[in-house]
Protein backbone atom coordinates (compact mmCIF):
# COMPACT_ATOMS: atom_id res chain seq x y z
CA UNK A 1 0.00 0.00 0.00
CA UNK A 2 2.76 2.41 0.97
CA UNK A 3 4.62 1.60 -2.25
CA UNK A 4 1.50 2.50 -4.33
CA UNK A 5 1.19 5.93 -2.61
CA UNK A 6 4.84 6.68 -3.31
CA UNK A 7 4.42 5.65 -6.96
CA UNK A 8 1.33 7.89 -7.30
CA UNK A 9 3.25 10.87 -5.90
CA UNK A 10 6.12 10.24 -8.29
CA UNK A 11 3.63 10.03 -11.20
CA UNK A 12 2.03 13.36 -10.21
CA UNK A 13 5.44 15.04 -9.98
CA UNK A 14 6.43 13.66 -13.38
CA UNK A 15 3.17 14.83 -14.96
CA UNK A 16 3.69 18.30 -13.52
CA UNK A 17 7.33 18.49 -14.66
CA UNK A 18 6.48 17.36 -18.19
CA UNK A 19 3.74 19.95 -18.49
CA UNK A 20 0.82 17.55 -18.69
CA UNK A 21 -0.63 18.69 -15.34
CA UNK A 22 0.90 22.18 -15.35
CA UNK A 23 -0.78 25.21 -16.92
CA UNK A 24 0.62 26.04 -20.34
CA UNK A 25 2.54 29.24 -20.99
CA UNK A 26 -0.24 30.26 -23.38
CA UNK A 27 -2.87 29.84 -20.64
CA UNK A 28 -0.72 31.79 -18.20
CA UNK A 29 -0.22 34.58 -20.76
CA UNK A 30 -3.96 34.78 -21.37
CA UNK A 31 -4.52 35.12 -17.61
CA UNK A 32 -2.20 38.15 -17.50
CA UNK A 33 -4.21 41.36 -17.22
CA UNK A 34 -4.04 43.88 -20.08
CA UNK A 35 -1.30 46.53 -19.74
CA UNK A 36 -3.68 49.28 -18.63
CA UNK A 37 -6.73 51.33 -19.40
CA UNK A 38 -4.84 54.55 -20.16
CA UNK A 39 -3.41 54.14 -23.67
CA UNK A 40 -5.37 56.14 -26.24
CA UNK A 41 -7.00 59.50 -26.93
CA UNK A 42 -8.65 61.62 -24.23
CA UNK A 43 -10.35 65.01 -23.97
CA UNK A 44 -9.05 66.88 -20.92
CA UNK A 45 -10.65 69.60 -18.82
CA UNK A 46 -9.37 71.03 -15.56
CA UNK A 47 -11.05 73.42 -13.19
CA UNK A 48 -9.79 75.67 -10.41
CA UNK A 49 -10.80 74.34 -7.01
CA UNK A 50 -13.35 77.04 -6.18
CA UNK A 51 -15.53 76.06 -3.21
CA UNK A 52 -18.18 78.72 -3.87
CA UNK A 53 -20.98 78.33 -6.42
CA UNK A 54 -20.25 79.90 -9.80
CA UNK A 55 -22.72 81.05 -12.42
CA UNK A 56 -20.37 80.38 -15.33
CA UNK A 57 -18.17 77.25 -15.35
CA UNK A 58 -15.83 78.97 -17.82
CA UNK A 59 -14.81 81.30 -14.97
CA UNK A 60 -13.08 78.37 -13.24
CA UNK A 61 -11.82 76.53 -16.34
CA UNK A 62 -8.10 75.94 -15.78
CA UNK A 63 -7.32 74.15 -19.05
CA UNK A 64 -8.87 72.17 -21.90
CA UNK A 65 -7.31 70.10 -24.64
CA UNK A 66 -6.71 66.73 -26.22
CA UNK A 67 -4.29 64.15 -24.82
CA UNK A 68 -2.74 61.05 -26.38
CA UNK A 69 -1.22 58.48 -24.00
CA UNK A 70 1.04 55.54 -24.76
CA UNK A 71 2.64 53.04 -22.42
CA UNK A 72 5.98 51.57 -23.35
CA UNK A 73 7.37 49.69 -21.54
CA UNK A 74 4.52 48.60 -19.25
CA UNK A 75 4.33 51.01 -16.31
CA UNK A 76 5.90 53.95 -18.16
CA UNK A 77 3.51 56.61 -19.42
CA UNK A 78 4.41 58.87 -22.34
CA UNK A 79 2.20 61.14 -24.36
CA UNK A 80 1.37 64.50 -25.85
CA UNK A 81 -1.22 67.19 -25.35
CA UNK A 82 -2.68 69.85 -27.62
CA UNK A 83 -4.43 72.76 -25.90
CA UNK A 84 -5.03 74.81 -29.05
CA UNK A 85 -3.38 77.97 -30.28
CA UNK A 86 -0.01 76.23 -30.61
CA UNK A 87 0.14 75.30 -26.89
CA UNK A 88 1.38 71.71 -26.85
CA UNK A 89 2.76 69.47 -24.12
CA UNK A 90 4.93 66.39 -23.79
CA UNK A 91 4.09 63.98 -20.95
CA UNK A 92 6.16 61.44 -19.07
CA UNK A 93 5.32 59.46 -15.96
CA UNK A 94 4.14 56.16 -14.54
CA UNK A 95 1.06 53.95 -14.59
CA UNK A 96 0.38 51.84 -11.51
CA UNK A 97 -1.64 48.69 -12.10
CA UNK A 98 -3.64 46.98 -9.40
CA UNK A 99 -7.19 47.01 -8.13
CA UNK A 100 -7.42 50.55 -9.48
CA UNK A 101 -5.23 51.94 -12.27
CA UNK A 102 -3.53 55.20 -11.32
CA UNK A 103 -1.28 57.62 -13.18
CA UNK A 104 1.30 60.18 -12.12
CA UNK A 105 2.98 62.24 -14.81
CA UNK A 106 4.58 65.57 -15.65
CA UNK A 107 3.88 67.78 -18.62
CA UNK A 108 6.40 70.13 -20.23
CA UNK A 109 5.41 72.77 -22.78
CA UNK A 110 6.65 72.14 -26.31
CA UNK A 111 4.92 74.89 -28.30
CA UNK A 112 6.65 78.09 -29.42
CA UNK A 113 4.77 80.18 -26.83
CA UNK A 114 4.52 77.68 -23.94
CA UNK A 115 8.01 76.19 -23.56
CA UNK A 116 8.05 77.44 -19.94
CA UNK A 117 4.98 75.41 -18.90
CA UNK A 118 5.54 72.72 -16.26
CA UNK A 119 2.59 70.85 -14.72
CA UNK A 120 2.31 67.74 -12.53
CA UNK A 121 -0.68 65.40 -12.56
CA UNK A 122 -1.99 62.55 -10.45
CA UNK A 123 -5.12 60.64 -11.38
CA UNK A 124 -7.18 57.49 -11.15
CA UNK A 125 -8.99 55.57 -13.87
CA UNK A 126 -12.54 55.30 -12.56
CA UNK A 127 -13.90 51.73 -12.71
CA UNK A 128 -17.11 51.14 -14.65
CA UNK A 129 -20.37 50.94 -12.72
CA UNK A 130 -21.90 47.46 -13.04
CA UNK A 131 -25.33 49.03 -13.62
CA UNK A 132 -24.08 52.03 -15.65
CA UNK A 133 -25.55 52.90 -19.02
CA UNK A 134 -23.62 54.53 -21.88
CA UNK A 135 -20.54 54.90 -19.70
CA UNK A 136 -17.46 56.62 -21.05
CA UNK A 137 -14.15 55.82 -19.42
CA UNK A 138 -12.62 58.67 -17.41
CA UNK A 139 -9.48 59.57 -15.49
CA UNK A 140 -10.04 62.00 -12.62
CA UNK A 141 -7.37 63.70 -10.60
CA UNK A 142 -5.46 66.77 -9.56
CA UNK A 143 -3.07 69.05 -11.43
CA UNK A 144 -0.60 71.62 -10.11
CA UNK A 145 1.29 74.35 -11.96
CA UNK A 146 4.82 73.42 -10.89
CA UNK A 147 6.66 76.48 -12.21
CA UNK A 148 5.67 80.06 -13.00
CA UNK A 149 5.16 80.79 -16.68
CA UNK A 150 4.12 83.54 -19.04
CA UNK A 151 0.40 84.18 -19.32
CA UNK A 152 0.47 85.05 -23.02
CA UNK A 153 -0.29 88.72 -22.33
CA UNK A 154 3.15 89.85 -21.20
CA UNK A 155 2.66 88.87 -17.55
CA UNK A 156 3.42 85.83 -15.43
CA UNK A 157 1.26 83.31 -13.58
CA UNK A 158 2.53 81.93 -10.28
CA UNK A 159 3.50 78.34 -9.54
CA UNK A 160 1.46 76.32 -7.09
CA UNK A 161 -2.04 76.81 -8.55
CA UNK A 162 -4.02 73.58 -8.14
CA UNK A 163 -7.00 72.31 -10.08
CA UNK A 164 -9.05 69.15 -10.49
CA UNK A 165 -9.23 67.43 -13.84
CA UNK A 166 -11.28 64.94 -15.78
CA UNK A 167 -10.04 63.27 -18.94
CA UNK A 168 -12.75 61.54 -20.98
CA UNK A 169 -11.83 58.76 -23.41
CA UNK A 170 -12.60 59.73 -27.03
pLDDT digits (tens, 9 = 90+) for 33-82: 444 579 999 999 999 999 999 999 999 999 999 999 987 788 899 999 99
C-alpha–C-alpha distance, residues 42 and 123, integer Å = 13
Q: What is the mean pLDDT of residues 87-94?
A: 97
- Residue 93 and residue 65 in contact, taking contact as beta carbons nearer than 8 Å: no
Sign for the pseudo-dihedral over CA of 160, 151, 90, 141: positive
Domain range annotation of the chain: 2-30, 40-169
- Residue 45 and residue 165 in contact, taking contact as beta carbons nearer than 8 Å: yes
C-alpha–C-alpha distance, residues 68 and 41, integer Å = 5
Burial of 50: CB neighbours in 10 Å, binned 0-12, 13-18, 19+: exposed
Instruction: Specify the pLDDT at position 19.
Output: 46
Q: What is the mean pLDDT of residues 6-22?
A: 46
* Closest of 141, 158, 140 to residue 149, by C-alpha: 158
The structural architecture, per CATH, of the domain 40-169 is Beta Barrel (2.40)
C-alpha–C-alpha distance, residues 96 and 82, integer Å = 24
Instruction: Specify the pLDDT at position 5.
Output: 54
Amino acid sequence: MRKIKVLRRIAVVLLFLTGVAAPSHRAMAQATPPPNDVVGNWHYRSFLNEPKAVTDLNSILFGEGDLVFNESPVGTLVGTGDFGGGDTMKYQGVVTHGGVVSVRFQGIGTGAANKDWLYDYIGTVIPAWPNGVNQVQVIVGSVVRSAPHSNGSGGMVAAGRVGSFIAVRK
